[in-house]
Amino acid sequence: MAFEFTDDNFQTTAIDQEGVAVVDFWAEWCGPCRMITPIIEELAEDYKGKAVIGKVNVDHNPNVSMKYGVRSIPTILILKNGEVVDKQVGVTTKEALSKKIEAAL
């Protein structure tokens, strides 16, 4: 299951951690976000123990969204050792995200 990032835990779980974190910025009312949710859930299982893969609800966590300038959702950031190394805006395929994650690992 995908991790739930929040304004409160983002620093310790995505930024301060060594390794890769994949962060899906989404909202319940967003149709494309709902389309990508199953992909994020599958990737969370596929990369368990290799990367932290989770979601940030932009309506409930505005600080993280503002910090990264998220204006369109879904936006997926791939962080390595706290730094953004890749970004995907809009719906994409599991294969495309897997390639981005593999490149970051």
**Catalytic center residues:** 30, 33
Report how far residue 24's alpha carbon sits from residue 101's, in angstroms, rounded to the nearest whole number. 13
Report how far residue 5's alpha carbon sits from residue 17's, in angstroms, rounded to the nearest whole number. 13
Report how far residue 82's alpha carbon sits from residue 99's, in angstroms, rounded to the nearest whole number. 19
Written as one letter, the residue type at 79 is L
Report how far residue 28's alpha carbon sits from residue 13's, in angstroms, rounded to the nearest whole number. 22
